[in-house]
Amino acid sequence: MSAPTAQGQARQILDMNAYRPGNGQSRPVERRLANLGAASVLFYRQPIEMVGAEGAWMIAKDGTRYLDFYNNVPSVGHSHPKVVEAVSRQIAQLNTNTRYIVSVVDDYLEALKALLPPELSNVMMTCSGSEANDLAIRVARAATGGTGIIVTETAYHGNTALVTEVSPSALKRGSLPEKVIAIPPPGAAHFGEDIAGGFRASVEAALAEFGRRGIRPAAFLADSIFSSDGILADPPGFLAPAVEAVRAAGGLFIADEVQPGFGRTGDAFWGYARHGVTPDIVTMGKPMGNGFPMAAMVARPDHLEQFCADVGYFNTFGGNPVAAAAGHAVLDVICEEGLQENARETGAHLLAGLRQVAAGDARVTDVRGAGLFIGVDLADEAGRPDPAFTVQVIDAMRAHNVLIGAAGRYGATLKVRPPLCLTREEAERFIEAFRAALAG
Ligand SMILES: Cc1ncc(COP(=O)(O)O)c(C=O)c1O
């Protein structure tokens, strides 16, 4: 089923636009390699040293200002003054764990829950999306008594031992464990016009395979914008039949909102809401604290009960008052500055502009997305996904002061994901840089 590429191979997520150590690296790069060793991951063939950031811009040590289109963390804008102020005020006053009552924490959780389905009324706070997904899988397994997990082919859900097992795009070698089945991503490349029907059939095939293996399903875990699968947003609603199928087999649906959550898709505050489904469990992270490390898993009380009866839960840093202050400020800024609406409007403008560029260049084979989350497929002359050309475009965009990354099975999809405060002028700037990068 896989599309042929100019370079054949599927790409591992950390491989995309990655620096490769060689001879003659600069002193700061040498230092980093010495400090992080084999675990070092840097962007770009010539890594950039950053010293500051504001709004949608990052500032390098040499004074260059880069328009940041590869950042789903400082989502309301780098160093947003309201978040900075909230964090500074709270850390100067009190920071402690959730075994004390601190009203800032409950104020925040109530504000967050007001944005979620009412039945998902219990929140487990963590420090990373990985921890949140790890918990979600454990809660789903405890609640259902099943163990099987269905994910998509190029999914990434984090870095703990458990979530690495459900993140095919993280594996450099080896295969998924028996309890995990990866299905094709919900795009036209696999399912043609009937994405909803094809995707549901894939989930059903995975469930049947679990049956043959003697494994009961626990959950279907999906990033509801399918970001590492190459950003697959349309048609809204395609997720619903797949969710129905997993529930009919006794499994839960876990919506991983680490990427699409907090207004990014423009149409809705959460990615799953575009599909008209109510998840059993929701996980979130990245933009939640605009850079303050915080994440969460939200579940129904009855689903949480079995897990907490078995092991219970405590997290030293998760859900501390400083995280709550950061998270609350983020929600306020999204609302006060109309950032979800901006994602919808500026995102539509950006999408239209990129489609215009695509109309004039056969190497741009698709532009798709929702709000300020857009995927742009790049191909060679024969129409095959072209990761080498994608890296060339990424480097050329950098030369035009724009930061951008790649996604998808072959690393041949530009992942367009700027802060939600992006202005029309900045969107225009991106389109012009893309045009210039294609021109070589
Ligand atoms: C969809 C998705 N889920 C989970 C994670 C893991 O989050 P974290 O890096 O905060 O552990 C990521 C990180 O990129 C992600 O993209």
pLDDT (tens digit per residue) in 144-155: 999 999 999 999
Asked whether residue 278 carries a pLDDT value surpassing 70, the answer given is: yes
Dist CA 250 CA 242 (whole Å): 13
Residue 440 alpha carbon to ligand 1 centre in Å: 33
Helix (H) or strand (E) holding 330: helix 321-336
Asked whether residue 160 carries a pLDDT value surpassing 90, the answer given is: yes
Which of 153, 229, 286 best tests ligand 1's pocket when mutated (most atoms within 8 Å of CB)?
Answer: 286
Ligand 1 atom with the shortest distance to the CA of 158: 6
Asked whether residue 360 carries a pLDDT value surpassing 90, the answer given is: yes
Residue 405, strand partner residues: 415
Q: Is 156 in the pocket of ligand 1 (CB under 6 A)?
A: yes
Residue 435 alpha carbon to ligand 1 centre in Å: 30
Ligand 1 atom with the shortest distance to the CA of 286: 10
Dist CA 225 CA 157 (whole Å): 13
Closest CA to 293 of 122, 132, 180, 163: 132
Q: Is 258 in the pocket of ligand 1 (CB under 6 A)?
A: yes
Q: Is 129 in the pocket of ligand 1 (CB under 6 A)?
A: yes
Give me the phi and psi of 413, to 5 degrees please. Answer: -120, 120
Residue type, 113: K
Q: Is 157 in the pocket of ligand 1 (CB under 6 A)?
A: yes
User: What's the pLDDT tens digit per position in 380-402?
Assistant: 999 999 999 999 999 999 999 99
Dist CA 285 CA 75 (whole Å): 11
* CA-closest residue to ligand 1 atom 7: 129
pLDDT band, very low/low/confident/very high, at 13 (cuts 50, 70, 90): confident
Closest CA to 132 of 284, 349, 259, 351: 284
Three-state DSSP string of 389-414: HHHHHHHHHHHCCEECEEECCCCCEE
Secondary structure (3-state) at 30: helix
pLDDT band, very low/low/confident/very high, at 22 (cuts 50, 70, 90): confident
Cα torsion 313, 319, 320, 321: sign: negative
pLDDT at 9: 66
Q: Is 126 in the pocket of ligand 1 (CB under 6 A)?
A: no
Residue 269 alpha carbon to ligand 1 centre in Å: 18
The answer to whether 419 touches 66, Cβ cutoff 8 Å, is no
Structure tokens at 116: 């979620």
Secondary structure (3-state) at 280: coil
Dist CA 97 CA 106 (whole Å): 13
Dist CA 380 CA 383 (whole Å): 5
User: What's the pLDDT tens digit per position in 205-235?
Assistant: 999 999 999 999 999 999 999 999 999 999 9
Q: For the purposes of burial, counting CB atoms within 10 Å of the CB of 118, is it exposed (0-12), middle (13-18) or buried (19 or more)? A: exposed
* Distance, C-alpha 226 to centroid of its chain: 8
Residue type, 99: R
Strand ranges in 236-314 using DSSP code E only, listed in sequence order = 252-256, 281-284, 295-299
pLDDT at 1: 37
Spatial neighbors of 320 by CB under 8 A, at least 6 apart, are: 95, 96, 97, 98, 105
Spatial neighbors of 248 by CB under 8 A, at least 6 apart, are: none
pLDDT band, very low/low/confident/very high, at 172 (cuts 50, 70, 90): confident
Over range 299-313, report the average pLDDT. Answer: 94
Residue ranges and CATH numbers for the domains of the chain are: 8-78+338-438 (3.90.1150.10), 81-336 (3.40.640.10)
Secondary structure (3-state) at 369: strand
Q: What is the CA radius of gyration of the chain?
A: 21
Residue 154 alpha carbon to ligand 1 centre in Å: 13
Between CA 75 and CA 111, with CA 263 as vertex, the angle to 5 degrees is 95
Q: How many CB atoms lie within 10 A of CB 73?
A: 15
pTM: 0.96
135: left (phi over 0), alpha (psi -120 to 50) or beta: alpha
pLDDT at 428: 98
Residue 283 alpha carbon to ligand 1 centre in Å: 10
Residue 145 DSSP one-character state: S
Q: Is 128 in the pocket of ligand 1 (CB under 6 A)?
A: yes
- The rounded percent of the chain whose pLDDT value lies above 90 is 90
Give me the phi and psi of 135, to 5 degrees please. Answer: -65, -40
Q: Is 259 in the pocket of ligand 1 (CB under 6 A)?
A: yes
Which of 164, 259, 265 best tests ligand 1's pocket when mutated (most atoms within 8 Å of CB)?
Answer: 259
Asked whether residue 287 carries a pLDDT value surpassing 60, the answer given is: yes
Average pLDDT, rounded, for the chain = 95
pLDDT at 6: 54
Residue 436 alpha carbon to ligand 1 centre in Å: 32
Dist CA 417 CA 193 (whole Å): 26
